[in-house]
Each structure stands twice: as structure tokens, then as C-alpha cells.
């Protein structure tokens, strides 16, 4: 089984590397954005699918990451402007972790719907702040984002968004996915699952449930921050639209569509959801109607998400061991 | 924690919990000595579960204190109590249903070994966690169910797993709340045997709540009978069995 995974991984990597050479430029850009959302969704799922906490406000962290990058690039900073993507990522990780720690400490006292709604409250407050503090945030227009340097190299402007940055995003994606994989398969990952299954009993077998919920929350916040930070240079502009209840809802959809109880579920879900969304947006202004209908269709046909459905099929095919 | 062997492993002082008018636990002073098996009996609603809930800090007492090896642990979080060796099982099965039986045990074992916080080490490659979990599986005769979801095994095995989780924590004192409740009459004895064997083998002190007198008398060193939140009588199993008042109230004999 293990060699099969490795072969699949190598084929996948090769495919991902040559793809930008064969598909239209625009799609390379779309693919890069999709990967940013995949990171966001993957992080969200350690909270949602793994720990059993449903947040309706996670785009807060997408925004924190994106605005951190834009803010550190502002011309007003003069010689202190930061263009190194690695430093910008680090800054986004720090800000999202700090905000995640603060907001999380308040939210994790609650579970279920209350947890979801408090998070929604926070993203709404943040959205309002982005609009109102326009001298810092640029208000509705937001802030411009310039081309960062990657590993100390400033790549040509013309092909940055449609070609070269894709590889950077892909590399970060692979790293954070690997890290998440390790977390899922660690004792800590099992503890989070135990908390999801039965928070009361988890406490009675010696797991400090509150602290672990907070840890999961902060991890998911950091992943949101990384997704937002990578997305900002791709978009060239950050605006309050990135942190709304809609973008918060999107990530829930991605997880449900892809399968929240499967490691790859959120990644598959992000690809499916985002690409479905832009395809539908292309040919009709009623895109949200169609998207809603297709979401309902998917949830009814694949209640465990695409990956949940696939993995039960695989198990039937390979026998219980798969 | 420094353990003072001169102190009782467990002592409660004036524990009290009222639910409105109901005096669920009413001024209970209980002492448990290291190594003994103490049974608590009493009719439905006499406050047995509530007493365990207070000791394990599932709920807070209105007043009174709990001492573990002489230390006041009344306000300790259950997770901290578990780490110190005071653990409990549940009358109504309380498991991680969506995890396999093995995963259930691994979570408890990893917690006990102080490794549950490790975010990057591989769970499956941790031989110590696996070994200890397999031991517990075998001790409770659950080996053939290892890969089954806890939610899918028969009720008797679920009750046993609930207790097994406690043993996976390597406890000093274990509180068992009706470990055979809901188990069919024919299964009660074998289930209890599995548990009793484990208690002796792992040399833990046990407090076992049961309302079926017959099941407890065989193996307890001491019996406490409760009624309306109070301790009605306590003593050797034989004496409690002969106690008129207990017979009337607990078994309903006239
Ligand atoms: N959370 C609660 N709220 C209100 N009343 C409660 C609560 N928990 C217990 N009680 C009441 O307290 C009394 C003692 O209940 P408890 O569950 O401790 O009894 P028990 O001896 O365990 O009974 P059983 O043998 O049925 O398990 C009962 O009258 C019960 O109805
Ligand atoms: Mg009870």
C-alpha cells in the first residue's frame, strides 16, 4: 500500500510541475489561487473535521494573512517595507497565530452553534474595521500588493502571477500538507479526534480538552493566514471582500464537498468548489443559484464528501485493509 | 505528586450536592484504603452516581471536600486527576464511538505515557503505545475487536471497553459506576470476571458502584450502602448482607 502512495505522489508531482507549461496562462493563475484555498481548507479541517468545531468566521484569518502582506509592503514604510515572501509568510504566521490565540481563547469556551456564531461575529467585526479604518486599510478599495521576492530573487513581473509564483505556492502547499499529515497521524492528532468524538470522556482520560481545542484553533488560523498571504500577491490587491461571511462559508462548503473525515477531503473540496464557482460564474449571472444547487446535489449524493465516498469504494475493492 | 502512604488513598469530607429539593448526596464522609475493593450499593436514585461525579469532579459539590492521598483535589480538572491516577468509568457507556477499539485505548495509553501532546511523532510507529494497548486489549479479552469501531461492538464489550480505558491510564484508584448495567443477566458474571481479574492483576484500589447485591458480595472487602444521599451502613459484605435495614431498602426484601 505504501509504495502505491509514493508512486501516486510522484505522478501527481510530475503532473503538477508540467501543468503550467501546457494549460493557458489564466488557468495557471486559477490553479495557484485554488492551492491557496486548499491550504486554507486543509487548516480549517483540523478544527472542523478533526476536532469537531464548526466555525462560520474563518475567513478572518485569510484576511489577516492577506492584509499582513499588503500592510508590510506599503510605500509609507519607506526603507522598512518587506518584499521577501519568506519574511512575509513568517509575519502572516505570527499575526494569525496571535489573533487566533486571542480570539480562540474566547471562542473555545463554547462548542456547537455558539462557537460557530461567535466566530461569525469576529469576522463581521473585522470586516467592518477593514471598511472603516480606511486610512490604514484602504477601505473598500483595500491595498495594493506588489510582487514579492521569492528566496531572495525578484522574478520577472510579466510571468509572475501566471507562471513562476505557481511553483512557489505549490512548494509551500506541499510543505504545509506534509506537516498537517504528520499532525493527523500523531498522538496529538488522535487526541483531537477523541475530543471530536467525546469531549467529556477525553477530559477523563487525561486530555486537557480546552487547551487542545485552542491548539487546533491556532493551527487552523495559521493555515488560513498562510493561504491569505500567498493569495495576496496573486491577486495584486487585497480588499475587505476576502474576509466575509461568504468566504467563511466557502471553506465550510469545501470541507463538506470534499469530505471532512478524510485527510485529502478539504484539498479535493477546494479544487472542486472554487473551480465550479468560476466556471459557473463565467456563463451565468445566476452563479450563486447554480452553485447552491450543485452543492445540494453533491451533499445528497455524496454525504461523506467525494473523498469519503471514494475511500469506502476503495475499501470494498481492496477489502478491509485498504 | 508525592504520595504519603500514611494517608488514605481517598477521603471525602462532608460532601453535599442538592438538585433543588432532591438531596442527591447529603453529607457523605467516605474513606478508602489503598488496595481494597469497596462496593457502594443502594437503590435507584440513592446518589451513587452523584457521589462518583463529585469525587471525579464531573460536577462541583455544594460543599465538602475530596482528598486524594491527603491532598485536597476538590477543584482539580478531571484530566489532572486522571494524570495523578484517579480515574473513573461511566454507568452510561461513554466512549469514542467513531474510533476503533484500538484507537480508544491508544488515546488513553498515549495520555498516560505523557505523549498525547506530541504533534509530529508517528502514533503507529510508537511501539510502547502499541504494546501497552495490546496488553490491555488482551487483559480484557477484546483482541478480536481491535479494529472494530467502538460504536459497533456489542453492549457487553462496550461496557468492558469503558472500564479498559480506565486501566489504560495506569490508575491508582479506579471508580467504576455499575460496570455491568445494561448487560444481559447471563453476561453479567463473565463481564464482572474480566474486570475483577484486571483489578487484581493491576493491583489497583477500586470503588465499585452496583445496585445488584449478589454481584458485589463475592469480591469486595467492604461494602457501603447508600440511601437518599446518605451512607446507611458500612461493613464487611457478610454483615451488610445480614443488615435488616439494608435488606429492606436496597433489595426491597421485607
Ligand atoms: N443533574 C441532575 N439534575 C437533577 N437531578 C439529578 C441530577 N443528577 C441526579 N439527580 C437526582 O439525584 C438523585 C440521585 O441520583 P443518582 O444518579 O446519583 O442515583 P444513583 O444511585 O446513581 O441511581 P441509579 O442506581 O439509578 O444509577 C436522583 O433523585 C436523581 O434524580
Ligand atoms: Mg447511577
| Residues of chain B contacting residue A320, judged by C-beta atoms under 8 Å apart | 147
Same domain for B98 and B77, yes or no, is no
Does residue B190 lie in a domain region?
A: no
Residue B162: Cβ-neighbour burial (10 angstroms; 0-12, 13-18, 19+): buried
What residue's CA is closest to ligand 1, atom 7? B19
Which of B39, B45, B226 maximizes ligand 1 atoms within 8 Å of its Cβ, making it the mutation to test the pocket? B45
Chain B nearest-CA distance from A320, in A, is 10
Chain centre to alpha carbon of residue A218: 13
Q: Look at A320 and B129; give whichever has higher pLDDT.
A: B129
Rounded-to-integer distance, Cα B237 and Cα B243, Å: 10
Rounded-to-integer distance, Cα A81 and Cα A97, Å: 22
- Residue B53: per-residue pLDDT: 94
Per the DSSP assignment, residues forming a β-bridge with B207 are: B38, B175
Of B87, B117, B147, the CB nearest to A204: B87
What residue's CA is closest to ligand 1, atom 26? B44
Range of the domain at B38: 1-85+173-181+204-254
Same domain for B58 and B177, yes or no, is yes
Q: Would you give the DSSP letter of residue A56?
A: S
Extents of the domains making up chain A: 24-321
Rounded-to-integer distance, Cα B124 and Cα A297, Å: 37
Does residue B191 lie in a domain region?
A: no
Same domain for B30 and B66, yes or no, is yes
Does residue B32 lie in a domain region?
A: yes
3-state secondary structure A175-232: HHHHHHHHHHCCHHHHHHHHHHHCHHHHHHCCCCHHHHHHHHHHHHHHHHHHHHHHHH
Chain centre to alpha carbon of residue A285: 26
SS3 call for B37:
strand
| Spacing, Cα B177 to ligand 1 middle (Å) | 13
Q: Is residue A306 a contact partner of residue A296, using CB atoms and an 8 Å limit?
A: no
Does residue B3 lie in a domain region?
A: yes
What is the mean pLDDT of the segment spanning A102-107? 91
Q: Look at A193 and A244; give whichever has higher pLDDT.
A: A193
Tens of pLDDT along B41-71? 888 888 999 999 999 999 999 999 999 998 9
What residue's CA is closest to ligand 1, atom 4? B19
Same domain for B78 and B118, yes or no, is no
Confidence label for B18 from pLDDT (cuts 50, 70 and 90): very high
Share of chain B above pLDDT 70, in %: 96
What residue's CA is closest to ligand 1, atom 5? B19
- Is A200 in the B-facing interface, judged by CB distances under 8 Å? yes
Chains A, B: CB contacts within 8 A come to 109
Of A179, A186, A193, the CB nearest to B121: A186
Residues with Cβ within 8 Å of A183's Cβ and at least 6 positions away in sequence, in order, are A46, A189, A219, B119, B120
| Spacing, Cα A202 to ligand 2 middle (Å) | 21
Same domain for B16 and B71, yes or no, is yes
Does residue B196 lie in a domain region?
A: no
- Residue B233: per-residue pLDDT: 84
Average pLDDT score, chain B: 88
Q: Which residues surround ligand 2, an ion (CB under 5 A)?
A: B 49, 91
Same domain for B240 and B208, yes or no, is yes
| Spacing, Cα B46 to ligand 2 middle (Å) | 8
- Cα dist from B196 to A76, B177, B219, B224, whole Å: 74, 14, 8, 18
Rounded-to-integer distance, Cα B181 and Cα B110, Å: 28
Residue B104: Cβ-neighbour burial (10 angstroms; 0-12, 13-18, 19+): buried
- If residue B74 lies in a helix (H) or strand (E), which one and from where to where? none
Least reliable range by pLDDT among A244-253, A273-282, A294-303, B103-112: A294-303
Does residue B107 lie in a domain region?
A: yes
Question: Domain count of chain B?
Answer: 2
Does residue B197 lie in a domain region?
A: no
- Is A188 in the B-facing interface, judged by CB distances under 8 Å? yes
- Is A241 in the B-facing interface, judged by CB distances under 8 Å? no
The cell for A208 is 486537557
Tens of pLDDT along A129-166? 888 888 888 778 888 888 898 887 887 777 878 888 99
Same domain for B36 and B54, yes or no, is yes
Residue B166: Cβ-neighbour burial (10 angstroms; 0-12, 13-18, 19+): buried
Confidence label for A217 from pLDDT (cuts 50, 70 and 90): very high
- Residue B180: per-residue pLDDT: 85
Does residue B188 lie in a domain region?
A: no
The cell for A21 is 507549461
| Residues of chain A contacting residue B129, judged by C-beta atoms under 8 Å apart | 187
The cell for B15 is 460532601
Per CATH, which fold does A24-321 belong to?
ABC transporter involved in vitamin B12 uptake, BtuC (1.10.3470)
Given a cut of 70, is residue A9 above it in pLDDT? yes
Ligand 1 neighbours by CB, cut-off 6 Å: B 19, 22, 24, 42, 44-50, 91, 211
Chain centre to alpha carbon of residue A263: 14
Amino acid at each position: 500500500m505504501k509504495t502505491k502512495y509514493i508512486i501516486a505522489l510522484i505522478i501527481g508531482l510530475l503532473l503538477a510541475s508540467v501543468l503550467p507549461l501546457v494549460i493557458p496562462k489564466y488557468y495557471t493563475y486559477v490553479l495557484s489561487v485554488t492551492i491557496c484555498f486548499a491550504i486554507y481548507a486543509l487548516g480549517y479541517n483540523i478544527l472542523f473535521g478533526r476536532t469537531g468545531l464548526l466555525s462560520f468566521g474563518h475567513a478572518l484569518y485569510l484576511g489577516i494573512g492577506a492584509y499582513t502582506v499588503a500592510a508590510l509592503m506599503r510605500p509609507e514604510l519607506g526603507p522598512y517595507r518587506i518584499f521577501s515572501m519568506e519574511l512575509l509568510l513568517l509575519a502572516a504566521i505570527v499575526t494569525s497565530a496571535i489573533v487566533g490565540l486571542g480570539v480562540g481563547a474566547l471562542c473555545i469556551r463554547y462548542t456547537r452553534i455558539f462557537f460557530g456564531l461567535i466566530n461569525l461575529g469576529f469576522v463581521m467585526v473585522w470586516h467592518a474595521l477593514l471598511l472603516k479604518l480606511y486610512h490604514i486599510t484602504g477601505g473598500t478599495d483595500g491595498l495594493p500588493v506588489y510582487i514579492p521576492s521569492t528566496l531572495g530573487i525578484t522574478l520577472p513581473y510579466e510571468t509572475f502571477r501566471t507562471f513562476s509564483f505557481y511553483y512557489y505556492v505549490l512548494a509551500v502547499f506541499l510543505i504545509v500538507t506534509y506537516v498537517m499529515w504528520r499532525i493527523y497521524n500523531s498522538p496529538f492528532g488522535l487526541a483531537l479526534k477523541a475530543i471530536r468524538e467525546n469531549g467529556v470522556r477525553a477530559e477523563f482520560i487525561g486530555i486537557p480538552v480546552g487547551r487542545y481545542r485552542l491548539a487546533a484553533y491556532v493551527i487552523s488560523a495559521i493555515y488560513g493566514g498562510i493561504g491569505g498571504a500567498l493569495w495576496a500577491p496573486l491577486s495584486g490587491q487585497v480588499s475587505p471582500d476576502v474576509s466575509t461571511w461568504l468566504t467563511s462559508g466557502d471553506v465550510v462548503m469545501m470541507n463538506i464537498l470534499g469530505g471532512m473525515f478524510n485527510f485529502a477531503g478539504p484539498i479535493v473540496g477546494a479544487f472542486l468548489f472554487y473551480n465550479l464557482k468560476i466556471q459557473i460564474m463565467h456563463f451565468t449571472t445566476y452563479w450563486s443559484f447554480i452553485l447552491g444547487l450543485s452543492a445540494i446535489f453533491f451533499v445528497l449524493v455524496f454525504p461523506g464528501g467525494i473523498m469519503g465516498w471514494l475511500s469506502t469504494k476503495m475499501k470494498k475493492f481492496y477489502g478491509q485493509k485498504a | 505528586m508525592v504520595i504519603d502512604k500514611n494517608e488514605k488513598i481517598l477521603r471525602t469530607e462532608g460532601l453535599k450536592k442538592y438538585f433543588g429539593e432532591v438531596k442527591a448526596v447529603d453529607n457523605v464522609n467516605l474513606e478508602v484504603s489503598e488496595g481494597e475493593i469497596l462496593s457502594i450499593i443502594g437503590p435507584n436514585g440513592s446518589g451513587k452516581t452523584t457521589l462518583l461525579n463529585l469525587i471525579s469532579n464531573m460536577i462541583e459539590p455544594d460543599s465538602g471536600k475530596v482528598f486524594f492521598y491527603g491532598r485536597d483535589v476538590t477543584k482539580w480538572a478531571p484530566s489532572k486527576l486522571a494524570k495523578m491516577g484517579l480515574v473513573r468509568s461511566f454507568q452510561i457507556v461513554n466512549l469514542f464511538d467513531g474510533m476503533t477499539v484500538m484507537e480508544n485505548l491508544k488515546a488513553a495509553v498515549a495520555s498516560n505515557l505523557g505523549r498525547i501532546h506530541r504533534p509530529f511523532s508517528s502514533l503507529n510507529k510508537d511501539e510502547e503505545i502499541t504494546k501497552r494497548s495490546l496488553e490491555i486489549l488482551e487483559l480484557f479479552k477484546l483482541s478480536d475487536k481491535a479494529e472494530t469501531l467502538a460504536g459497533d461492538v456489542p453492549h457487553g464489550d462496550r461496557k468492558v471497553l469503558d472500564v479498559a480505558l480506565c486501566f489504560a491510564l495506569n490508575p491508582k484508584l479506579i471508580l467504576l459506576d455499575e460496570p455491568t448495567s445494561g448487560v444481559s443477566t447471563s453476561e453479567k458474571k463473565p463481564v464482572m470476571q474480566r474486570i475483577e481479574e484486571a483489578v487484581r492483576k493491576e493491583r489497583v484500589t477500586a470503588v465499585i458502584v452496583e445496585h445488584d447485591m449478589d454481584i458485589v458480595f463475592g469480591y469486595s472487602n467492604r461494602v457501603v450502602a447508600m440511601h437518599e444521599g446518605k451512607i446507611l451502613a458500612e461493613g464487611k459484605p457478610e454483615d451488610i448482607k445480614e443488615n435488616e435495614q439494608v435488606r429492606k431498602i436496597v433489595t426491597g426484601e421485607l
